[in-house]
Amino acid sequence: MTRRTPMIATLLAAAAASVAIAVPSQAQSPASCRLTVTDIDGIPNNEVKAIELNENVDDIFLLIDGQRFPASGTVSFSTPGQGRPASAFGNPSRVFNAGEEIKMKVVESDPVFRDNMGTNRFPCSPMEGRIPFNDAGAGAYAVEVRVEEI
Ligand SMILES: [Ca+2]
Ligand SMILES: [Ca+2]
């Protein structure tokens, strides 16, 4: 018994030392991340919300690093304050490399041209929130966004 106790203590000390070495090396390697349009505020089905319309009826799609959501077509908004679920946009989700900048736009589609409701850029690091897109003179939207490390 008097011999085993020092042995266990030595093993525990060795285990603790190896953990202490492993943690800083993991922290130094930057992680990839995933951006998802998903419920942040606990209120379902309002993940894309019209704050102010661009026209009488807005036909909206999202661009995440140039990729369109929904992949085809648009989602219509006809009342200020109206919310639509992420699923209406094809549950937007994309993976980015560590250090990559994430660029996201809300676009109102017209027959002849597009109106950009706003552009936001995020670092590839954890955050979440209801992000405003209101660069345009007319029209403002908010999108619930989460960025998580993967
Ligand atoms: Ca929500
Ligand atoms: Ca328009």
Q: Is the dihedral of CA 84, 85, 91, 95 positive or negative?
A: positive
Q: Which tens digits make up the pLDDT trace of 24-58? A: 445 556 789 999 999 999 999 999 999 999 999 99
State pTM to two decimals: 0.80
Take residue 126 and report the two structure tokens written for it: 């954890």
CA 71 to ligand 2 centroid distance, Å = 20
Residues that place a CB less than 5 A from ion ligand 1: 39, 41, 43, 46
Residue 22 has pLDDT above 80, yes or no: no
Give the CATH number of the domain where residue 130 resides: 2.60.40.150
User: Residue 141 Cα, ligand 1 centroid: separation in angstroms?
Assistant: 13
pLDDT recorded at residue 2: 47
Does residue 17 fall inside a structural domain? no
Residue 99 lies in a domain: yes
* Residues pairing with 25 in the sheet: none
From the CA of 44, the nearest ligand is 1
Sorting pLDDT into bands at 50, 70 and 90, what band is 137?
Answer: confident
Determine, yes or no, domain membership for 69.
Answer: yes
Residue 106 has pLDDT above 90, yes or no: yes
Residue 1 domain-assigned (yes or no): no
d(CA 73, ligand 2 centre) in Å: 15
Q: Nearest ligand, CA of residue 60?
A: 2
DSSP 8-class letter at 32: P
The pair of three-digit structure tokens given for residue 144, joined into one six-digit string: 């619930």
Q: State yes or no: pLDDT of 139 exceeds 70.
A: yes
Reply yes or no on whether the pLDDT at 150 is more than 70. Answer: yes
Ligand nearest to the CA of 128: 1
Distance CA 86, CA 135 (A): 22
Cβ-Cβ contacts under 8 Å for 10 (sequence gap 6 or more): none
- Domain containing 45 equals 32-149
Parallel/antiparallel/unpaired status of strands 114-123 and 48-52: unpaired
Number of domains in the chain: 1
13 found inside a domain? no
Q: Look at residue 112 and tell me if it is in a domain.
A: yes
Asked whether residue 25 is domain-assigned, the answer is no
* 49 alpha carbon – ligand 1 mean position (Å): 9
Ligand (nearest to CA of 84): 1
Q: Is the dihedral of CA 45, 130, 100, 109 positive or negative?
A: positive
Looking at the predicted structure, is the pLDDT value of residue 8 above 70? no
DSSP β-bridge partners for residue 116 = 107
